[in-house]
Structures are given as structure tokens and as C-alpha cells.
Amino acid sequence: MAGGGIGPSNGKEYPGKLTTKVLITCIVAACGGLIFGYDIGISGGVTSMPKFLEKFFPDVYAKEVLHTVSTNQYCKFNSSKLTLFTSSLYLAALVASWFASTITRRMGRRLSMLFGGVLFCFGAIINGLAQNVAMLIIGRVLLGCGIGFANQSVPVYLSEMAPFKSRGALNIMFQMSITIGILAANLINYFTAKIKDGWRYSLGGAVVPALIFIVGSLFLPDTPNSLIERGNKEEAKRRLQIIRGIENVDVEFYDLVEASERSKEVKHPWSNIRKRRNRPQLTFAMLIPAFQQLTGMNVIMFYAPVLFKTIGFGDTASLMSAVITGGVNFVATFVSILAVDRVGRRVLFIEGGLQMLVCQIIIAISIALKFGTSGNPGELPVWYASFVVFFICVYVAGFAWSWGPLGWLVPSEIFPLEVRSAGQAVNVSVNMIFTFFIAEIFTEMLCVFKFGLFIFFAVFVFIMTLFIYHFLPETKGIPIDEMSKIWSKHWYWQKYVPNDDPFPPQSPPRKLHSPVKEHNIQMVVNMDEKEA
């Protein structure tokens, strides 16, 4: 296989199992995804509620609600002011993720999560009580900051807590809670749209996922990796014993200490991450989130009600799209949880990519045949609309078990400890830039490309599938601090990461070569003896 690289377990085994403690800890931490998902699901619906538009965007209200007739169906939802309101959050999240990376590294993963929850909670309160556009914008900036902190810290937390054999499944719980957030928000919107000032409940309701996340983070322990990184070795070892459910965690512990020693030599993660030996990881931390958004998934997520209306679902469009696409998105994410540590990341990426590609071509052709370039379908038979919806669902499922969850998993597991937080910040920033970009220009693109919009994204899906096939080595079953080896064995990346690691990871007992390293490990050994 072109990019397959090395064998699954890389010869390294750590004892220990997936304990109930880790499982619960990871479920709680993954709740960080709820706040992101809730916002994705809520904002599209709220910005189409007439009362909300009338209060905050009267000119949009006049254009969209009072004069809905337009000559071309593909162009009638075009309103830049409103999309700017929705997508401004992503810019705030982008900037916040850079600050989050420093806090995550220096003060721990847990504190970043807590900050994220608190900022998001304030944003939700201000938005729910909003009296003017300024309050709305301040609220959205706070929501964005909360999301930036959560998305930066939660995936790293999950990847570090998990035993390496279940890392994929546990990390994907983050995406799973994003999908729960989206689905819940869409359903809430459907009902609040019918009551007076319902938009306040929708926006203010974001307090609920925020509180779940805040309370959760208050009780979460920090990861052993982060405790060691901050000099708390004793506590880290105790924590590792608890989460792995065994007494003898020496092999894993010494590897973590070693990774931390290397990490201490790095004073400036942002300049270090640009070094040649981090080139493969940096490439993936930038391309994976960009490609994730260029699948076109958010066109379906943000604008499904619009699309469903366009293909003849009338007034039930928003509920239908919430239940259908949101439900499929959620259920299909389970498939990924079950498969990712068995079949690996590459198989899911490639299979999901091909599935999306085929669906996009079918959807584009069927919309072209019925809607032409005017966007006017005339009478649309039920079987025809159902046919299109079916392929939209198969497309959503393909995304939900591949690029959706793997877009968070892979970047969080490939970086060495010293630049892991910075790497995750790059991942979040690129994801946010592209989410912003797609949300901003979708309505313009629909107006210009018409049904060809699906082909536009299909071209990217084709390119990204080829890219994964050739360049991504398999990361399944490789301990997180052993990950550097996969690059030096890969046909392409080995020219950036030659096998000349000065402190090759190994397990005790062994011969130590660095005085600094020897000293530190000796301290740990002494500590052990004292404990014994």
C-alpha cells in the first residue's frame, strides 16, 4: 500500500487495559464537542427565524421574508451580512486556539477545557439576553473563544488519556458529541421557531452544553503526559496506574518521562514546529482540517434546510433535514468508533472519500437534470426527491465515519509532546478558517456554480483521497510517544525525518546516553525506590 508505512503495532506494547475510569473520563471530556456542535446546529436555524431577523437585521428581513420571490432559485438565499454574523465566531475561535495552546502546554489540558466552557457559557448568556447587534457580536466572540479553547485541548486530552489500542475510538467521542450537539440544536430550533422570541431560547440554550462541560472539567484529572511535562512525576505515575488499572506501568511511564525531557529542551514550540523534522506532521495538521472542510460537509450541515426546500420539502424542510442528516451523521459516527482501531485510519479515510465522491457526482447529475440552471424544478415527484435525499444521506455517512472524526484524531496523535499543543492549535485554526470561508461563500457559490457546486467539492474529495493513499502512514496501534518512527519508515517522509533520533525511545532497563536524561530518569528511579 502506497502510504501504509509500517506495521500496526510497531513492536511496542504497553500493559494495561481500557478501564471504566478512562472510559468515563473520556466521555466527560468529549462533552467539549457538544458546545461546538450545538452552535453549528443552532446558528443556521436562528438566522432564518423571522422575529430574529426583524429585530437585528431589518434590511435582511425586508429582503428575505417580505420579498421571497427571486428569478433564480439558486440565488435567493444570498445575504452576506447574515453569513458574516454566523461565521464571525470561527475567526474568534481561530485566535483563541493560539492562546489555548500556551495554556494547554504550561497549565494543563484540563484548565484549557474549563476556560473553554466558561467563555462559551458567558457567550450563551449574552446572546440569549441580546438587545442589539453589539450584544450579539460580543456573545458570538465569547462563544468562538470557548470553542477555540475546547477544540484545542479536548482532542489532545483524549489521545493522551487513552490506552494506545483504543486511542482512535476514545478520541472519536469528541466528534460524536459534536454530532449530538448538532442534532439536539436542530431539533430545538424546530420547536422554538414556533414560539414568540423562540430565538432567545435557542441561543440561550447553549448554556446547557456549556454547564455540562464546565462541571465535567472540574472533576477531570489531567493527563499523565501533561503532569510530567509540568514536573509532577510522582502524581503522573500514580495517575497512570489508576487509569491503566495496573501497578506496573513502568514501560509507558519511562517513555513519557523521556518524551517530556525532549520536550523541555524546546523553549519555543512555534519555531520548533516549523523545523524540518516536524514537516510531515505540520503538513497533515494543515491539510487534514482544510480537506475536511473542502469535502463540502458543512454545505449540507449549515444549509440542509435550504437544500431540502429547494428539492421540494416545503415547510417541513428544516425538521426533515435535522432528523435525516443529523441522525445519519450521529449514527454513522458509531461505525467509526467501532472500526478505527481495527481497520485503521487509512481504510476509513479512503473508503469514506470514495463513497462521498460517488454520491456527489450522483447528486450533481440528479439536480442538474431536474433543476437545470434556472433552479426551477417545476413539479418534483416524491420518488425523485427521495432519491436525492438518499444519496445525501450516504454522503453524510461517508463523512461521518471518515473525515469528520479523523480530522480531529489524526492531528492530535501525530505530534511529539513538545509541539503537540501547538500542532493542535494549527489544526483548529485551519479548520476554523476553512469553516469560515465555506460558510461565507457558500450562498455566492450556489448562485454561481448552481448544481456544479457538488462537482466543485467532488474534485477536492478526489484529490484528498489520493493524497491520503500516497502520503498518510497508518497510525493505528502505535503508542503516541512512539509516533516519530512512522515518518522515518515512510517512502516519502523519510527524507524529512531520517532515523537519527538522538534519544530513541526504548524501555527500561537500558543504557542511558545523555547526562541530563540519565539524571532525570535516576530521580524517577529513586522516587520509585522510596515508594517501595
Within 8 A by CB and 6+ apart from 36, the residues are 147, 150, 151, 178, 181
Subset of 150-179 contacting ligand FRU (CB under 6 A) = 175, 178-179
Of 438, 430, 433, the residue nearest 456 (C-alpha): 438
Candidates 112, 192, 329, 488; binder of ligand FRU (CB under 6 A) is 329
Residue 301 touching ligand FRU (CB under 6 A): yes
Residue 289 touching ligand FRU (CB under 6 A): no
Residues of 61-95 as b/e, b for ≥16 C-beta within 10 angstroms? bebbeeeeeeeebbebbbbeebbebbbbbbbbbbe
> CA-based diameter of the chain, in Å?
82
Determine phi and psi for 274, rounding to 5 degrees: -85, -5
How many other CB atoms sit within 10 Å of the CB of residue 57? 19
- What minimum distance in Å lies between the beta carbon of 233 and ligand FRU? 35
How many other CB atoms sit within 10 Å of the CB of residue 354? 15
Subset of 492-531 contacting ligand FRU (CB under 6 A) = none
Within 8 A by CB and 6+ apart from 387, the residues are 366
C-alpha cell at 398: 461517508
Residue nearest to ligand FRU (CB): 301
Of 464, 172, 516, the residue nearest 289 (C-alpha): 464
- What minimum distance in Å lies between the beta carbon of 301 and ligand FRU? 4
Residue 10 touching ligand FRU (CB under 6 A): no
89 vs 178 by CB, closer to ligand FRU:
178
Residue 58 belongs to what H/E stretch?
Answer: helix 58-61
Residue 336 touching ligand FRU (CB under 6 A): no
Of 415, 398, 429, the residue nearest 331 (C-alpha): 398
289 vs 477 by CB, closer to ligand FRU:
289
Contact (CB, 8 A) for 436 and 87: yes
Using DSSP's 3-state secondary structure scheme, residue 487 falls into helix
Residue 404 touching ligand FRU (CB under 6 A): yes
Q: Which residue has the cell 517522509?
A: 493
Binding window for ligand FRU (CB under 6 A); candidates: 11-19, 163-171, 251-259, 294-302: 294-302
How far apart (Å, rounded) are the C-alpha atoms in residues 302 and 42?
9
Residue 181 touching ligand FRU (CB under 6 A): no
Candidates 40, 236, 332, 425; binder of ligand FRU (CB under 6 A) is 40
What DSSP line would sit under 315-365, residue for residue?
GGHHHHHIIIIIHHHHHHHHHHHHHTTTT-HHHHHHHHHHHHHHHHHHHHH
Residue 260 touching ligand FRU (CB under 6 A): no
Residue 87 touching ligand FRU (CB under 6 A): no
Candidates 260, 292, 321, 465; binder of ligand FRU (CB under 6 A) is 292
Subset of 410-439 contacting ligand FRU (CB under 6 A) = 435
114 vs 154 by CB, closer to ligand FRU:
154
Total residues interacting with ligand FRU, rule: CB under 6 A? 12
254 vs 436 by CB, closer to ligand FRU:
436
Residue 297 touching ligand FRU (CB under 6 A): yes
Binding window for ligand FRU (CB under 6 A); candidates: 142-150, 163-171, 290-298, 348-356: 290-298
Query: Contact residues for ligand FRU (CB under 6 A)?
Result: 40, 175, 178-179, 292, 297-298, 301, 329, 404, 407, 435
